[in-house]
Amino acid sequence: MYDMKELYEAFSVKEAIELRLAHPEAQIIAGGSDVLVQMREGKRAGKELISIYLIDELRGVSLDENGAIRIGSLTSFSHITRDPIIQKYINVLGEAVDLVGGPQIRNIGTIGGNTCNGVTSADSASTLHAWEAIIELTGPNGKRLVPIKDFYIKASTVDIREGEIQTAILIPQESYENTFGYYYKYAMRNAMDIATTGCSVNVRLSPDKKAFDRVRIAYGVAGPVPMRAPSAEALIQGKALTMENAEAFSLEVLKDINPRDSWRAPKAFRQHIAVEMAKRCLIEATKRCGGEIK
């Protein structure tokens, strides 16, 4: 039984914006894999909902005129995993979202819902941070582009303003070109579990495959919001592919992350596995890039 006050359906982005303005307290529902569960738990009881699930223009993956990968906010996790553009350029995102829940959740759950929910444990979030994703929001004043690091404001709170809906996620060409990534999710069990910590690393190597030209690392559940580890990124820049540098890189993440104690894991354990995950992800991403850390 779902305790809702009213359900409105939008069939276009324009109609969704109009409904948002007419019902400012209403909450957006896409696939419903988060919203409906929270409603049954009483967290959203008695709320007005605006469904955007029937807006087909918000589905699909494409390349825009600038070479950026455009992922419509209603694109399901299953679609992302199988999409040929994702598989060719940022396959690690498909691998990350393929770890969300079970097949039913991946078929109905959307990338936009996963990010707009604002939780730090979302499996897509750390990988999107590592790819320097840009969030496209559309509202009464047109489109607004927000770097994903600024989109997450605090736990479960994102930068969506009056009348806006999230319409797409963009991955700039300069972020993915000649770059390969790896995502590691640590959870208490192998299936249908929330991440205790998630780590995503992508690597671009020098032309001779002997040095790190560009490295990005991001975490989920290492703080109140998904976050990058810029100290580690700066340390590894231009360094040779050695195990000594990989280990120094992984220890450097401790300067940036701030995991919490919870019933899932104490802070010290999360810090310990964050270091190990950084090293493993760097090694595997480097292999995918055609290099080898020795």
Residues 19 and 126 in one domain: no
Residues 200 and 246 in one domain: yes
Residues 133 and 182 in one domain: no
DSSP annotation string for 130-143: HTT-EEEEEETTEE
User: What's the rounded mean pLDDT across residues 282-290?
Assistant: 98
- Does residue 294 fall inside a structural domain? no
Residues 128 and 69 in one domain: yes
Residues 39 and 149 in one domain: no
| 86 φψ region: left (φ > 0), alpha (ψ -120 to 50), beta (else) | alpha
How far apart CA 277 and CA 291 sit, in angstroms, is 19
How far apart CA 187 and CA 193 sit, in angstroms, is 6
User: Which CATH number characterizes residue 81's domain?
Assistant: 3.30.465.10
How far apart CA 35 and CA 38 sit, in angstroms, is 5
User: Which CATH number characterizes residue 41's domain?
Assistant: 3.30.43.10
- Does residue 272 fall inside a structural domain? yes
* Contact predicate 115/166, CB 8 Å: yes
Residues 170 and 192 in one domain: no
Residues 80 and 145 in one domain: yes
- Does residue 293 fall inside a structural domain? no
Strand partners, 217: 201
Token couple for 126? 């750390």
Residues 147 and 70 in one domain: yes
- Number of domains, the chain: 3
Greater pLDDT, 64 or 4: 64
Choose one of 143, 158, 174: the last residue of a domain.
174
Choose one of 174, 206, 239: the last residue of a domain.
174
Tell me phi and psi for residue 153, to 5 degrees.
-95, -50
Question: Quick one: pLDDT band at residue 81, thresholds 50, 70, 90?
Answer: very high
User: Taking 70 as the threshold, does the pLDDT of residue 1 lie above it?
Assistant: no
Residues 154 and 205 in one domain: no
Tell me phi and psi for residue 255, to 5 degrees.
-75, -20
Residues 210 and 268 in one domain: yes
pLDDT for the residue 190: 66
Residues 72 and 168 in one domain: yes
Residues 200 and 94 in one domain: no
Angle at the Cα of 126 (from 106 to 87), degrees rounded to 5? 55
Greater pLDDT, 260 or 275: 275
How many Cβ atoms are within 10 Å of 207's Cβ, its own excluded?
Answer: 8
Query: Distances in Å between the alpha carbon of 87 and those of 61, 138, 174, 287?
Result: 11, 27, 17, 17
pLDDT digits (tens, 9 = 90+) for 169-184: 999 999 999 999 999 9
Residue 123 lies in domain: 56-174
Per-chain mean pLDDT for the chain: 95
DSSP E strands: which ranges in 10-102? 27-29, 47-51, 61-63, 69-72
